[in-house]
Structure 1
Amino acid sequence: MTGKGTLAAILMLAASQAFAQDLLIRNATVHTATSRGTLNNADVLVRGGKIAAVGNGLAAAGVQSIDAQGRPLTPALFGGISEIGIDEVSGEDATTDSSLALGQNAKDMVVRPEFDATLAYNPDSVLLPVARVEGIGFTLLGAGSTAGGSIVGGQGAVMRLDGSPDPIGPRVLFVQLGSDGANLTGSTRAAQWMLLDQFIDEVRGRIPAGSHMAMLTPAGRTALARYIDGGGRVVVGIHRAADIRQLLRWSKRHGVRIAIAGGAEAWKLAPELAAANVPVFVDALANLPSDFDQIDATLENAARLRKAGVAVSFSLGDSHQARKLRQLAGNAVANGLPWEDGLAGLTRVPADALGVGDRIGSIAPGKTADLVLWDGDPLEVSTLAQQVWLGGRAMPMRSRQTELRDRYLRADPPSETRGLPRAYPAPVR
């Protein structure tokens, strides 16, 4: 049996032992996403679903052993800010739970920061295995804003794609600013800062609850209070450099820990973002002035930000195409971002930014064993994930998409269906 065939057989055995949480992966090119960097011909020992040791020549009696044959092993990847698990079919409203649509214009804006999108999360969504077979192990569940009638979209959190029903980290608040939110603020982005200041005034009691000026419910004031004066993370969708400058001033004034989603022109304020310790989730394919907020978009955005010391991650904003996040990272690397930073932007950086870096996002003792074995460079679009382990358990490497592929591309249909169009053969059991 060839080396490739041997590895395939071992991985089939791993998949058949899906509930095992102890294993030893030997002879891998381990991209740790830590200060240890890349380790050649290294081993990773997993016990009880957690990484017990990383090094060379490890041994463990009675533990399933897999020879990686030098192939790359990485932490499970980040799926970006997505709606995986709350958006089954985007065109079918009954399967979309990311936005709270109580008001649709500035006059009747309903601001509900207490809205928590994680309460609608479906761990049985068909989108989970679609993303998972591509090496994705966690995502930041987003809460829609402008579609929901407010620049404050609500809260989301990090979800692991292992079938667990609950978030693993703290809640994150989502806000949409710039031209995308201007229709909800009197058709001017200037009013966004007026409204945000008013929300802070309400939380701090400078606007009495129940007054004609108040816009928050009691629960909304409680929820928003958790995000000021050094509290939880606020992810702000924003692109234009001028708006980002105002955001930095506003966040400093109120002690708000922000992260930027989008940031097409963020490179123009890279030193300021680095000094303020603001991570940026970029779309590394943004290169053209698609609107007036992105006049200075460039493929070098990620590289310029990282060179200045900004923590850079990636997000595509498309739950059904989350697997393409590797392509974003690869394009950023092709345009000047160091390779190790490209991988970190899919692993350690988002985990740290979202408050779960102590559990996932890197390969180190004590971390949850969320791992992916690849058949090549994980930042190359042609590379495939050979096996995904979440919590040390081998995940089935199939999804609805792969099952449809296998059904309709069968070269040897059953005898009872021969002569019929290729759509008719039954799936392989």
Structure 2
Amino acid sequence: MITRSLRPALLAAALLATLPAAAQDLLVRGATVHTASAQGTLADTDVLVLRGRIAAIGKNLGAPAGISVVQANGQALTPTLFGGISELGAEEVSGVEATADSRLRLEDQPARPEFDLSLAFNPDSLLLPVARAEGIGFSALAPNPGGSFIAGQGAVIRTQGDSQPLASRQLYLSLGGNVSAQSGQSRAAQWMLLAQMVEEARGNLPASSPHALLSPAGRKALASYLAGNGRTMVRVDRASDIAQLLRWAAREKVRIGIVGGAEAWKQADALAAAKVPVFLETLVNLPASFDQLGARADAAALLAAAGVEVSYVLNGDGAHNARKLRQSAGNAVAQGLPWETAYAGLTSVPARALGVDDELGSIAIGKRADLVLWDGDPLDVAHVARRVWMGGVEQALRSRQTELRDRYQAPAGSQPRAYLQPSAPRY
């Protein structure tokens, strides 16, 4: 709701009195506010932040004494953007196993849905400030399939480096040809094994059975998702696998999301009817596997036209390339997806699908003041984040990458550049 009064701001301040002292007050004046909510885009609008939360949105808002005022001069203001589904926060160097915690390999009992990657989240990861400086504020930390096509659990993290991920949890599994090695070289066996695991989780197969696939903790974890506590995210590409998945989810009453979805557009109407979001790899427009024979560049536009909520993931090393998700959205616009719909895929859609929309994903009163001021169109990679705030606290747009750039661009002195003393990192 647009308001000229500070009454909502004062109410919000009273409700948020318990927030950490580090949270700041802020007034962004005269921005083009892309709210990612039912309010849409608001021209020449102010956003007031009190104690790290959005307190008021409107024109000509009064600024409390001593508050920091930022003149936006019409530039785009957005919530911080979604960084995809990746190992961000649980991986430093993908080729060094000691720094990559996202894959579980256990020979004795490979199906371990109780595996929770969020326990390995590192708030000091050097990859977080790289993403944050590009306007990325939240991401889904997800395990990779290792010994089983059921990879385990993940959670939503904020790139500010909070000590703990947010409370929402997701279960991740993969289906199709890419994980056939984990299911007897047959995708049919994936459904056979999954059916038995469901029976175990529901107590229909004794835990003492020599044929049991799940540990007691695994049964409890899977039962929680079968009961609707959290969303089950399924990496799958082939249209026939997606159709089978939709039938299984309806029968078992499981809330699912599609990850990858190269051929999801073929099941667009069914996905829309089931209200299943698709986290699409929009840059996959050629068949890289037999499961992706139907990949096409305008898949996002086709899905959205049918009423499917679309967000994005990256094909490859998403932890190091979260900033490229804006390119995914921009490419989708070039292929027919409306700009506002593409923008929602970086903001409100993933927040809602992952269960954190009460905190993140839009500019609305009461939500976290995780904000980005851009020098142009946020979906155009030719433009960059000018300023980033998380919880109302301005973030230094610095990272290990910028530190190295500054160090080795510095003029040579009496010693080689390698001996220059870098300034203390502020990220």
- Is the CA contact (8 Å cut-off) linking 1:288 and 1:295 kept in structure 2? yes
Cα 1:151–1:20 change in 2 (3 A) is closer
Alignment of 1:252-263 (within 5 A): 252-263=250-261
Cα distance in 1 between the residues matched to 2:116 and 2:24? 32
**Contact kept in structure 2, 1:79 and 1:136, CA below 8 Å:** yes
In structure 1, stretches of 5+ residues that fail to align are: 1-17
Given that 2:142 and 2:153 are in contact with CA atoms closer than 8 Å, whether structure 1 keeps it comes out as: yes
Which residue of structure 1 aligns with residue 294 of structure 2? 296
Shift of 1:407: 1.3
Per the alignment, do residues 428 and 229 of structure 1 end up closer, same or farther by CA in structure 2, a change over 3 Å counting? closer
Alignment-derived partner of residue 34 in structure 1: 37
Which has the higher mean CA deviation after the structures are superposed, 164-173 or 134-143? Answer: 164-173
CA distance in 1, matches of 2:370, 2:208: 48
- Equivalences for residues 12-411 of structure 1 within 5 A: 19=22, 21-62=24-65, 63-103=67-107, 110-145=110-145, 148-316=146-314, 317=316, 318-410=318-410
Q: Distance in 1 between matches of 2:273 and 2:175?
A: 22
Post-superposition shift, 1:169? 2.9
One-letter amino acid matched to 2:205: I
The answer for the alignment partner of 2:14 in structure 1 is none
CA deviations on 1:185-212 (whole Å, 9 max, x unpaired) are 1101011111111011111122111101
Contact persistence 1:21–1:47 (CA under 8 A): yes
Deviation at residue 428 of structure 1 after TM alignment? 5.1
Q: How high is the TM-score relative to the length of structure 1?
A: 0.91
Question: How far does residue 231 in structure 1 lie from its aligned partner after superposition?
Answer: 3.2
Residue 8 of structure 2: aligned partner? none
- d(CA) in 2 for partners of 1:257 and 1:183? 26
| Map of 1:12 onto structure 2 | none
Q: State whether residues 121 and 165 of structure 2, in contact with CA within 8 Å, keep that contact through their aligned partners in structure 1.
A: no
- Measure, in 1, the Cα distance between the counterparts of 2:360 and 2:183: 38
The amino acid across from 1:38 in the alignment is T
Task: Give the whole-Å Cα distance in 1 for the aligned partners of 2:229 and 2:51.
Answer: 33
Is this contact kept in 1: 2:23–2:391, CA < 8 A?
A: no
Deviates more, 1:206-215 or 1:287-296: 206-215
- Structure 1 distance, partners of 2:254, 2:126, is 36
Q: What letter is aligned with 1:400?
A: R
Extract unaligned runs of 5+ from structure 2. 1-20
3-state SS, counterpart of residue 245 of structure 2? helix
Q: Does the 8 Å contact 1:280/1:312 carry over to 2?
A: yes
8 Å contact kept, 2:83–2:136: yes
C-alpha displacement of 1:424: 5.1
Distance (Å, rounded) in 1 between the aligned partners of 2:150 and 2:423:
47
Conserved? CA contact 1:40–1:70, under 8 Å: yes
Paired residues of 1:233 and 1:257 also in contact (CA < 8 A): yes
Amino acid in structure 2 at the alignment position of 1:134: E
How far does residue 47 in structure 1 lie from its aligned partner after superposition?
A: 0.3
> For the Cα contact (< 8 Å) 1:259–1:278, is it kept in 2?
yes
Deviation at 1:229, TM superposition (A): 3.8
Q: Point out the more displaced range, 255-264 or 20-29.
A: 20-29
Paired letter, 2:52: G
Q: How many residues align?
A: 401
Secondary structure in structure 1 of the residue aligned to 2:232: strand
User: How far 1:427 sits from its partner (Å)?
Assistant: 3.4
Aligned-pair distance for 1:19?
4.1
Taking structure 2 as the reference length, what is the TM-score of the superposition? 0.92
How far the C-alpha of 1:20 sits from its partner, in A, is: 5.1
Name 1:11's counterpart in structure 2: none
Secondary structure at the residue paired with 1:88?
A: coil
Tell me the CA shift for residue 423 of structure 1: 5.1
CA contact (8 A) 2:388 2:394 kept: yes
Residue 422 of structure 2: aligned partner: 427
Whether the aligned pair in 1 keeps the contact of 2:139 and 2:157 (CA below 8 Å) is: yes
| Structure 2 counterpart SS, 1:293 | helix
CA distance in 2, matches of 1:425, 1:20: 35
**1:66 partner letter:** V
SS at match of 1:252: helix
> In 1, are the aligned partners of 2:258 and 2:279 still within 8 Å (CA)?
yes
Secondary structure at the counterpart of residue 330 of structure 2 = helix
Q: Supply the AA of the counterpart residue of 1:245.
A: A
Instruction: Kindly provide the CA deviation profile for residues 47-68 of structure 1, in whole angstroms up to 9, marking residues without a partner as x.
Output: 0100001111111222110001
Post-superposition Cα deviations, 1:24-72, rounded to whole Å, max 9, x if no partner, equal 0001111000111111111000001000011111112221100011110
Given that residues 82 and 138 in structure 2 are in contact (C-alpha distance below 8 angstroms), is that contact kept between their aligned partners in structure 1? yes
Alignment match, 2:4? none
**Partner Cα separation in structure 2 for residue 163 and residue 129 of structure 1:** 9
Distance in 2, Cα, partners of 1:303 & 1:287: 13
